[in-house]
Structure 1
Amino acid sequence: MDDIVQAALKKWPNVPHCYGWLALDARGDWYMRDDRIQQAGPFPQVKGSRIDHDKLLAFIGRNYASDDRGAWFFQNGPQRVYVELESTPWIWRLQPDGSVLSHTGRAAQVDSCWLDETGHLYLATDLGLGLVHTQDMTLAAEAIDARRWTPQDCIAAKLPSTHGFRRRPRPETTKPA
């Protein structure tokens, strides 16, 4: 996490969390979802404004993490902005040299490979579970053919529970005493 973000957290420790305003699609693109977009429909049916600014994308990537509930967020200074996920917390970009990078540019080590009922390929890594980017399926097929990865069957709807992440984070509700 950036030093400036750490300092902001110390200066303003009780800033309320933000929900619904940031989303990650299945191609690794970030979307801003203001009130108007949220009212127009749920993500990913209504995506919002794609973030294209390189420095903002890098800032989000450096400050992207998960909480103990498996909800992913971007720590924007003192405010935690929870992320709605179309698929998984990570979107993997495969490199010609066999390495794996996340949509945020972080290197990952593959632990296992999963194939769902619709043919989507996922990699469980030291960073967590992620979907292989559609543009990288040729490289994925080469890794499977070379027996570097052996896909195991999975059901897409069960991935959040089996791999410990939330697609739609919501505030915790407290029960009345």
Structure 2
Amino acid sequence: MDEIVRQAMAKWPNVPHCYGWLALDRRGQWRMRDEQAQTEGTAGDPIRHTALIAFIARNYTSDDAGRWYFQNGPQRVYVSLAYAPFVVRLTWDATANDGRGAPVLTDQLGKTFVPQACLLDEDGSVAFVGTKAEGEANAPLALLHDHDIDLLTQVSDLAQAFEVAETADNTADAKAAVRLHWCNGDSGDSLPLATVHAGTLPQTYGFERDPQAPAD
């Protein structure tokens, strides 16, 4: 968090929170939702200003209730999430793995996202479970940008893993044995893979998709 933000919070500790005006879409774009967008239920306008995007990224965090927000000076601007708190892009690092290459995930904040598991929902959306930070109750969840699903199928055995997951015995041991293998052959890593329902993810991973202002 920016030091100037910390100072503003200390100077004005009781500024009312803001709800509904900022959103994170399924492609990792921050969107400004004015009164008209909120009334009409539209996505809002993408934020293009580079410095503002960087400012949001540096001051993006969550509260104890799993509501993600941008700390704008002394004010919390709560974020409506189209799917998850993070959206990742997939690239291929040809120099990793002793030249064999490796996939790299980068979130909308510009940070490397280290996956611990892969999820595939009922609509074909792919999400990754990250590493739980010290002191955090839940692991972070990131949606894979839909433009990168084709690349994922090229650098992993997503289709085969999904088929195994769909046909596995409905037991915990069988489901836990399903793996998504990265890279080619035996090189690289593998991740647990599970099929999920998108609507269950907020409760499972402890976040709110649409924070609401408390009733008066």
**Same fold? TM cut 0.5:** yes
Aligned to 2:156: 144
> Partner residue of 1:169?
211
Instruction: Compare 122-131 and 72-81 and name the one that shifted more.
Output: 122-131
Amino acid at match of 1:86: A
Aligned pair 1:86/2:98, yes or no?
Answer: no
Secondary structure of the 2:61 match is strand
Contact 1:64–1:73 (Cα < 8 Å) also in 2: yes
Match of 2:202 among 154, 160, 166: 160
Match of 1:135 in 2: 147
C-alpha displacement at 1:100, in angstroms?
A: 1.3
Quote how far apart the aligned CAs of 1:143 are.
Answer: 4.4
138-147 or 2-11: which moved more? 138-147
Stretches of structure 1 that go unaligned for 5 or more consecutive residues are none
- 1:35 deviates by 1.6
In structure 2, the residue matched to 1:76 is 72
Residues 116-127 of structure 1 mapped to structure 2, 5 A cutoff: 116-126=121-131
* C-alpha distance after superposition, 1:11-45 (max 9, x if no partner): 1111000000001110111111112221222xxxx
Matching residue within 43, 46, 51 for 1:50: 46
1:173 deviates by 4.5
Equivalent-residue separation in structure 2 for 1:93 and 1:32 (angstroms): 22
Task: Give the conservation status (yes or no) of the 8 Å contact 2:116–2:192.
Answer: no
Other-structure match for 1:107: 112
Q: How do 1:5-16 residues align onto structure 2 when only pairs under 5 Å count? A: 5-16=5-16
Q: 2:61 aligns with which of 56, 60, 65?
A: 65
Identity rate, percent? 46
Larger Rg, first or second structure (1 or 2): 2
Name the residue aligned to 1:29.
29
Code of the aligned partner of 2:66:
G
The 3-state SS of whatever aligns with 1:21 is strand
CA–CA distance in 1 between the matches of 2:64 and 2:84?
A: 16
TM-score (norm 1): 0.90
| Aligned mates of 1:49, 1:150 — CA distance in 2 | 36
Please report how far the alpha carbon of residue 144 of structure 1 lies from its aligned counterpart in structure 2 after TM superposition.
3.0
Distance in 2 (CA, whole Å) between partners of 1:33 and 1:47 is 7
Q: Distance in 2 between matches of 1:144 and 1:106?
A: 22
Distance in 2 (CA, whole Å) between partners of 1:142 and 1:37 is 38
Give the Cα–Cα distance (whole angstroms) in 2 for the partners of residues 143 and 6 of structure 1.
Answer: 42
Instruction: Spell out, residue by residue over 1:62-110, the C-alpha distance to the aligned partner (whole angstroms, 9 max, x if none).
Output: 1111111011100000000000011111001112122211011111211
TM-score by length of 2: 0.74
Number of residue pairs aligned between Structure 1 and Structure 2 = 170
Q: Distance in 2 between matches of 1:109 and 1:76?
A: 27
Q: Which runs of 5+ in 2 are unaligned?
A: 94-102, 133-139, 158-180, 183-189
